[in-house]
């Protein structure tokens, strides 16, 4: 593994240029909101330490390895893994805005070793069996439409002994966090648009579904369009079209109504909004796919503060207790050879 300081400096060389004001028309505007801190060496060191800590937890050295970043977004972690010495890094995502920015970064900075970005769902990938030494899902599994399909693909794509590494901030075992997340679900589903606790609702999902219905069935009355939009929660564009056509053919209204216990879905992309997980249950869910899985509470430490890092180490040891108030969790799942 390349030294943390060297990786941080190289990362800073890339993003201090990418985040210049004149590039705002070339890259998606959210790059500055999510990764604006990478314009500074301190921010790059913190981000690199974050990835370094993940690898250490998994007992994984990226040097010479082939890695999949499942839900890569803007690709910062994939870039770091490449700088750490990976032989190749493949990133996949379904975001129509973030993935093109990652692809432009690869092109603009001629990133090596081979780093590639693909518009693809993590639930069905074109890579051959046993391609990867590690699959990373960083703040992404909570957005997958079908978690079990992803786990099936991960088991297929990993080499025996390969690592599935999951890091996520949607710890459903933390009751306070879970209550906040359900408020976020309600806001994205029904609006209003605008900022909400660090997120931005550009357009409520119910409005997006109404536009999809109106476009596909322009002769429907506005009031009927609104009612059908309300009854097609958690459906994607094609599912919505089929449900409305079924109603027109049979008179049977769709009945997929939003409830606060179910995470809403972006009808255009199919992405799920911040699904909650009980980490212990998720680890148990992973194991039947051919993994040995362990879960950990995560309390922080990427900033380098020695006290926080010590507290995090202790918190991980005491995970069955600390998971109840930890904001984030980690899962390390090793692919069995049998």
Q: Exposed, middle or buried, 249 (CB in 10 Å: 0-12/13-18/19+)?
A: exposed
pLDDT for 338 equals: 72
Q: For each of the domains in the chain, give its residue range(s) and CATH number, in order of start.
A: 4-172+277-335 (3.40.50.150), 175-250 (no CATH)
pLDDT, average across residues 229-249: 97
Residue 296 phi/psi, 5° resolution? -140, 140
Q: Which residues of 171-187 are buried (b: 16+ CB within 10 A; e: fewer)?
A: bbbbeebeeebbebbeb
pLDDT tens digits, residue range 37-94?
999 999 999 999 999 999 999 999 999 999 999 999 999 999 999 999 999 999 999 9
Residue 316 confidence (pLDDT) above 80:
yes
Split at pLDDT 50, 70, 90, the class of 271 is confident
pLDDT for 243 equals: 97
pLDDT, average across residues 132-137: 98
pLDDT for 297 equals: 98
236 closest CA partner among 259, 195, 215, 208:
208
Separation between Cα atoms, residue 38 and residue 16, nearest integer Å: 7
Residue 269 confidence (pLDDT) above 80:
yes
Split at pLDDT 50, 70, 90, the class of 2 is confident
pLDDT for 206 equals: 97
- The residue behind tokens 């109106």 is 214
Residue 103 confidence (pLDDT) above 90:
yes
pLDDT tens digits, residue range 143-163?
998 999 999 999 999 999 999
pLDDT, average across residues 217-221: 96
Split at pLDDT 50, 70, 90, the class of 196 is confident
Evaluate whether 65 touches 43 at the Cβ level (below 8 Å). no
Q: Exposed, middle or buried, 267 (CB in 10 Å: 0-12/13-18/19+)?
A: buried
Evaluate whether 241 touches 212 at the Cβ level (below 8 Å). yes
State the alpha helices, DSSP H only, in 84-221. Answer: 98-109, 147-157, 175-190, 205-216
Question: How high does pLDDT run on average in the chain?
Answer: 95
Separation of CA 133 from chain center: 19
Residue 112 confidence (pLDDT) above 80:
no
pLDDT for 270 equals: 85
Which of helix, strand or coil describes residue 3? coil
pLDDT, average across residues 18-23: 96
Paired with 70 in beta bridges are 92
Split at pLDDT 50, 70, 90, the class of 109 is very high
Residue 113 confidence (pLDDT) above 90:
no
Evaluate whether 104 touches 27 at the Cβ level (below 8 Å). yes
Which of helix, strand or coil describes residue 272? strand
Split at pLDDT 50, 70, 90, the class of 1 is confident
pLDDT for 127 equals: 97
Separation between Cα atoms, residue 146 and residue 281, nearest integer Å: 16
The two counts, helices (H) then strands (E), for the chain are 13, 9
Residue 198 confidence (pLDDT) above 90:
no
pTM for the full model? 0.90
Separation between Cα atoms, residue 178 and residue 62, nearest integer Å: 34
Separation between Cα atoms, residue 76 and residue 312, nearest integer Å: 24
């Amino acid at each position: 593994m390349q030294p943390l300081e060297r990786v941080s400096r190289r990362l800073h060389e890339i993003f201090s240029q990418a985040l210049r004001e004149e590039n705002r028309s070339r890259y998606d505007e959210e790059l500055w909101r999510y990764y604006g801190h990478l314009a500074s060496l301190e921010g790059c060191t913190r981000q690199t330490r974050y990835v370094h800590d993940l690898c250490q937890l998994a007992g994984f050295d990226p040097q010479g390895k082939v890695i999949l970043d499942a839900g890569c977004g803007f690709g910062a972690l994939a870039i770091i893994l490449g700088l750490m010495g990976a032989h190749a890094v493949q990133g996949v995502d379904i975001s129509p805005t973030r993935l093109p920015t990652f692809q432009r970064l690869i092109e603009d900075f001629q990133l090596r070793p081979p780093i590639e970005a693909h518009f693809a769902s993590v639930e069905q990938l074109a890579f051959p069996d046993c391609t990867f030494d590690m699959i990373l899902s960083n703040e992404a599994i909570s957005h997958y439409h079908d978690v079990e399909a992803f786990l099936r693909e991960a088991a297929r794509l990993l080499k025996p002994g390969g690592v599935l590494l999951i890091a996520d901030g949607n710890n459903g075992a933390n009751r306070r966090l879970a209550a906040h997340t359900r408020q976020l679900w309600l806001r994205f589903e029904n609006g209003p648009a605008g900022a909400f606790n660090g997120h931005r609702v550009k357009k409520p999902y119910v409005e997006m579904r109404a536009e999809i219905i109106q476009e596909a069935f322009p002769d429907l009355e506005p009031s009927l369009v609104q009612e059908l939009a309300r009854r097609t929660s958690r459906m994607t564009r094609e599912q919505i079209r089929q449900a409305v056509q079924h109603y027109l053919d049979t008179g049977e209204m769709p009945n997929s109504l939003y409830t606060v216990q179910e995470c809403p879905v972006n009808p255009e992309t199919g992405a799920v909004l911040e699904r909650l997980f009980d980490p212990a249950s998720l680890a148990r869910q992973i194991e039947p796919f051919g993994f040995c899985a362990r879960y950990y509470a995560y309390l922080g430490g990427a900033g380098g503060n020695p006290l926080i890092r010590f507290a995090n180490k202790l918190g991980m040891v005491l995970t069955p207790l600390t998971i109840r108030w930890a904001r984030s969790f980690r899962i390390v799942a090793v692919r069995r050879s049998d």
